[in-house]
Amino acid sequence: MRIKAAVCREFNRPLVVEEVELAAPGAGELRIRVAACAICHSDIHYADGAWGGSLPSVFGHEASGVVEEIGAGVEGFEVGDHVVVTLIRSCGHCYYCADGDEVLCEGEFSLDRDGPISAADGGHITQGLRTGAFAEQVVVDPSQVVVIPKEIAFDCASLLACGVITGLGAVVNTARVEAGSNVVVIGTGGVGLNSIQGAALSDCGKIIAVDISDEKLAAAKRFGATHGVNSAREEIADVVRALTEGRGADYVFVTVGVKSVIEQAFGLIRKGGTLVLVGMTASGEVAGFEPLTVANDCQVVLGSKMGSSRIRTDIPKLVSYYQQGRLKLDELISGRYPLAEINEAIASVNRGEALRNVIVF
Ligand SMILES: [Zn+2]
Ligand SMILES: [Zn+2]
């Protein structure tokens, strides 16, 4: 079928909204009409060429929508179901899936080989981030999709697909912080605010937000931060030590993919403390740290991909938190844009103005 999609034809150039061809779902696949797709920094990194990959490509992976067509053999979905669509494609039976680490799945999928998108002239278009949701419709694997209650608005629901589970999951799944922990969250954008929400939901003690934007630090307080540090004006290490009886933080979450910030973050954790790397740097970047300190101070470094999420159980839990008023979603949305204005929506993210900008259909 013919659909409109925003295609990346050249790195670092505006996306081109054009008609593309979407294949019907094969056996074991679903077609979903996209209702909302938020813009994540990962989409922008890919479109800028920071992580390579083949072009042309349709990005967009933080989506919600409605099930329109169900491929042979798919169970657990009905046409008309409202769903969240994520990039986490998992086979359910490889070593990592069997161990509960769906985000590390090594399964192989026909969608990875062929992909459902092609150009109007028949040329191949890559399904970026295994979703390709800067488009009116997607064809994805059912493992990527979670049914949600129909009363949840699509724009809010889309955020559950990446920013929320990545930020909040880093705190509750990857690090499993204990109540009372003193936590630093560096970067208070669409991911970092959710790490702050996760820390608040986990009854952490001091929740120290770090950013260079006073507006974002003000937002961080609304999401549960107890303290804000503007690192453009203040020395983070001094503030963190002053707030933690000189020890340093129990946990530091780095939600920005910036090497110098990661290096600085080692200096914020206490002896035996944990540094959690959430934001992804460009391919090939190398950060330095002093192994002696890590060993001598029994420090822990954790990597966290997609908040180590198990979407089938985590997303319904987050939906119920939202319905109980314990999780903020509406407040994460800075702007709503039609697909035709996607380049403006991305530019606004790049100017640092947005928590989350959402493409609505
Ligand atoms: Zn994302
Ligand atoms: Zn697997």
Q: Are 133 and 31 in contact (CB under 8 A)?
A: no
CA–CA separation, 17 vs 4, rounded Å? 7
Distance 243 CA to ligand 1 centre (A): 32
pLDDT of 279:
94
Question: Do the bridges between strand 82-85 and strand 62-70 make them parallel or antiparallel, or are there none, so unpaired?
Answer: antiparallel
Distance 287 CA to ligand 1 centre (A): 22
Distance 96 CA to ligand 2 centre (A): 6
What is the pTM assigned to this prediction? 0.95
Distance 239 CA to ligand 1 centre (A): 30
288 φ/ψ sector (left φ>0, alpha ψ -120 to 50, else beta): beta
Q: Splitting the chain (361 residues) into consecutive groups of 10 residues, what average pLDDT does each group show?
A: 98 97 97 98 94 95 98 97 98 96 96 94 95 98 98 98 98 98 96 98 98 95 98 97 98 96 97 97 93 97 97 97 97 97 96 92 98
Distance 264 CA to ligand 1 centre (A): 24
Distance 102 CA to ligand 2 centre (A): 6
Minimum-distance ligand to the CA of 106? 2
Distance 346 CA to ligand 2 centre (A): 32
Minimum-distance ligand to the CA of 100? 2
pLDDT of 354:
86
Neighbours of ion ligand 2 (CB under 5 A): 90-91, 94, 97, 105, 107
pLDDT of 114:
87
Distance 244 CA to ligand 1 centre (A): 32
Minimum-distance ligand to the CA of 91? 2
Neighbours of ion ligand 1 (CB under 5 A): 40, 42, 162
